[in-house]
Structure 1
Amino acid sequence: MKKPLIIALALSISAFSFAQKKELRAAEKAIKGNNFAEAKTALNQVEPLMASMDEKNKAKYYYLLGQALYANGAGSSEDIDKALASLNNVKSSAYESDVLQLKQNMTNDILTKGNAAYEKNDFSTASKHFEHAYRTSEKDTLFLYYAAATAVNVREYDRALKLYEELKQLGYTGIQKEYFATNVETGQEEVLDKESRDLYVRAKSHIKPGERLTESKKAEIVKNVALIYVNQGDNEKALEAMKDARAESPDDINLLLSEANVHFKMGNKEEFKKLLEEATQKDPENAELQYNLGVIAAESGDKEAAKRYYDKSIELDPNYINAYINTAALILQGEQALIEEMNNLGSSKKDDLRYDELRKERQDIYRSAIPYLDKAIAIDDKNINAAKTLMNIYSVLGETDKYKVLKQKVEAIEAGN
């Protein structure tokens, strides 16, 4: 009684096997003809038979499904995710090179889409494409970094944080070997891939070949993670992220400055000042650090300290325009008390004499600010704020010719000339 059952079962398996192979061949043929919808239909018919499928046919099924979903780049982002998941299920070594090539094609195509979106400032779409590119080629962690950075551009902070945390777990630093050579014709150093650089050097179009390591992006990643936490109101996590990173790289001044910026955003100006002063000890030639200390001192009402910091910033970088503008603003703050006293004076002879004294003091203040504003305009002749302030000063001082020159400049700037 068992023999017919055994025969019937054998016939059933054979029928299943025939149906599997038939549909897989149909899907393969449809893919070769770029008829991906037909291929997916054939593969959908195979799916219920997966339980009885041998490993060879399973591998073929997953590979063909990946191709059909990818559709030579026409598949949606969701389809690409499914295609990747399907390709990751291909366990047969017979398809290893084919899967690698398909993933490489997917990576290149996705990057092209990502770059196109980036050029259009569509950072949200670009970020998703860059992440997809990484998923197709997980050895290229740079793509994951691009995905996180572009997500920050459009304030997709939750997503960016998730990507950054993944980068941290991977130990990503962004340090890469960079190849360069100097173009003989232009005299400019150019960064190239190794093959191109060596080719150009042999052709003698480039000289002075070399290689170097790029800077670590760890400080930037930690900074962005911390600022995301600040944006989310989680200041404790922000500071924790900074301190952990600084403990690992205590001499990294960028991490120190990032922590200082977090304190500044939190309103912890004393801690901000303390960290900036620590930074100036590590980097005493940094004009920006001196300038920022000047800003903090000015906001704290310590004008003398602010002036010292601004002067030091200018000494380190004679073209640091903000230091000149802020110094002028610091000087001009002194006129407010004079104006208030002048407005409260009466009409007696004594008051008239005092008024003249105050007016002269006010004019002296204006004259003290002029050199700084002049220098700011010399550095940036389109700086409308400096030009307007200087124009008004000349008007008050009664220097008509200089006033007219500045008035013309202001009008030209405002007209876009």
Structure 2
Amino acid sequence: MKKLMTLVLVFTVATMSFAQKNEIKAIDKALKNLNFADAKSAVAAAEALIGNMDDKTKAKFYFVKAKALYANGAGSDSDIDKAIATLDELKTHESAMGKLRYTDQANEMKTEIYNSFLKKANEAFNSKNLTVASKAYENIFKISPKDTVYLYNAALLAAQNNDYDTSLKHFIKLKDLGFTGIKMNYIATNKETGGEEYFPEKANRDFAVKTLKTHHKPVDKKEESKRANIVKNIAFIYVSNGDNEKALAAIKDAREEFPDDNNLVLTEASVQIKVGNSEKAFGLFKEALEKDPNNPDLNYNVGIMAMEVDQYDVAKTAFEQALGLKPDYANAALNLSFIEVNKGNVMNDEMNSLGNSAADNKRYDELRAQKNDLFKSGAGILENFIEKNPDLNNIDIYNQLANIYSALDEGDKYKAMKAKVEALKAAGGN
């Protein structure tokens, strides 16, 4: 009986080994015929037997599985992700075996996948297909985790495409990896074209300049750290998603790392306003302006945030400061005008509520005069701005003036502004 059992056992193992090899042969055959659907089916069948494969057979299986999933670049995003993971499994497995039979081919295949995704990413980016470009850059990072800059590209494009969940995931990963993006760029000017060109290494650039003499004016340019942008984007995305508590926590971490970054101060102020803490928000506004009082953009941003919570006196002061620092700051002038016009519009509710008594008519005339004065003040701000910037081609400003003149029943001025708007549109103004 014991001999019989031994014979049965040997027969079973031999049959299983034969089945494994048949399944792998089936994958090979399908791949040679470029029948990737059949190859994937054969992979699924062989997968069930992997626990009983010897090391040599398992290495072969990993390799043909990756080829079946990649499908010469025609595989789905999910399948290509699995192909990349399978190639890594193959390399780990063969490294443990101490025999690298398929590792070189696996490296060649990863290079092919890398280059195909790089081409796909660049083409998609150039055609403004941000979804495809972002995913392709992410896949490049998966193939080559040392190339973190591609994950950064994926994060930026996902955010630009309003895919905040994906973008947030990537930015958090970059933060955890300690990615900065700092690197030295080696640049020289092409003598024939006159354009600057980037070289992968200093030696390549120096060879072109000193030996080939095709380039001159060598420059080493160090890229700034992207770390601040990463941590700020994490906070901004939390704000966009309405996750205020996480946003405040992220901003706290970011401010500890970048204490002099005023954009973070303003971002925290914005969140504090959303959670109803106006006192804290205006303390932060003050902090930001104390750090950089002569920054026109900072003053402008403070004005915008103040307008959002109806703090028009604070907003007016900030816009006036911005305009004083930058006399051609069109949006600052426009918002100053809006403040005056909005003050006038506030009177509409009371004017509309009045009756027809003598007292009501008198009050109506008083309110109308006040409203018109405010509208004229709003127009005056823009008129003065245009006078100081005679080459202005800002359609929004001329439209705002046209609307004010219309409300004031100043027909000739209204027509002049509308004609200006149409002329700018025809000329491609903004």
- TM-score (ref. length: structure 2): 0.76
Aligned ranges 1:32-43 → 2 under 5 Å: 32-43=32-43
Contact 1:373 1:390 in 2 (8 A): no
Question: Structure 1 residue aligned with 2:104, among 97, 104, 124?
Answer: 97
Q: Does 1:138 align with 2:151?
A: no
Deviations 1:374-415 (A, max 9, x none): 446733x14144345068559969795x66543421233466
Q: Does 1:282 align with 2:291?
A: yes
Question: Matched residues in 2 for 1:389 and 1:124: separation?
Answer: 41
Q: Which runs of 5 or more residues in structure 2 are unaligned?
A: none
Q: Which runs of 5 or more residues in structure 1 are unaligned?
A: none
Residue of structure 2 equivalent to 1:70: 70
Question: Matched residues in 1 for 2:371 and 2:10: separation?
Answer: 112
Aligned ranges 1:388-399 → 2 under 5 Å: 388-389=400-401, 393=405
Deviations 1:5-36 (A, max 9, x none): 54554455445444544543453354345343
Contact 2:398 2:421 in 1 (8 A): no
Call closer, same or farther: CA 1:291–1:44 in 2, change over 3 Å. closer
Question: Matched residues in 2 for 1:185 and 1:275: separation?
Answer: 53
Which shifted more, 179-188 or 151-160? Answer: 179-188
The letter for the 1-side match of 2:54 is D
Question: Matched residues in 2 for 1:29 and 1:132: separation?
Answer: 28
Q: Does 1:50 align with 2:50?
A: yes
Residue of structure 1 equivalent to 2:303: 294
Contact 2:333 2:381 in 1 (8 A): no
Contact 1:273 1:296 in 2 (8 A): no
Contact 2:65 2:83 in 1 (8 A): yes
Tell me how far 1:291 sits from its aligned partner. 1.6
Aligned ranges 1:182-221 → 2 under 5 Å: 182=189, 191=198, 193-194=200-201, 197-198=205-206, 201-202=209-210, 204=213, 206-221=215-230
Deviations 1:95-121 (A, max 9, x none): 323222222222332343344444454
Q: Does 1:152 align with 2:159?
A: yes
Call closer, same or farther: CA 1:39–1:383 in 2, change over 3 Å. same
Contact 2:372 2:408 in 1 (8 A): no
Contact 1:73 1:106 in 2 (8 A): yes
Question: Matched residues in 1 for 2:241 and 2:374: separation?
Answer: 47
Residue of structure 2 equivalent to 1:258: 267
Contact 1:151 1:159 in 2 (8 A): yes
Question: Matched residues in 2 for 1:254 and 1:158: separation?
Answer: 22
Question: Structure 2 residue aligned with 1:372, among 385, 389, 411?
Answer: 385
Contact 1:324 1:375 in 2 (8 A): no
Deviations 1:68-111 (A, max 9, x none): 11111111122223323322321114132322222222233234
Call closer, same or farther: CA 1:193–1:85 in 2, change over 3 Å. closer
Residue of structure 2 equivalent to 1:406: 417
Give SS of 1:89's match: helix
Matched residue pairs, number? 408
Question: Matched residues in 2 for 1:397 and 1:190: separation?
Answer: 59
Contact 1:328 1:372 in 2 (8 A): no
Which shifted more, 265-274 or 233-242? Answer: 265-274
Question: Matched residues in 2 for 1:358 and 1:78: separation?
Answer: 66
Give SS of 1:209's match: strand
Which shifted more, 1-10 or 287-296? Answer: 1-10
Question: Matched residues in 2 for 1:19 and 1:370: separation?
Answer: 87
Deviations 1:225-266 (A, max 9, x none): 223333443311110111012112323344334333433554
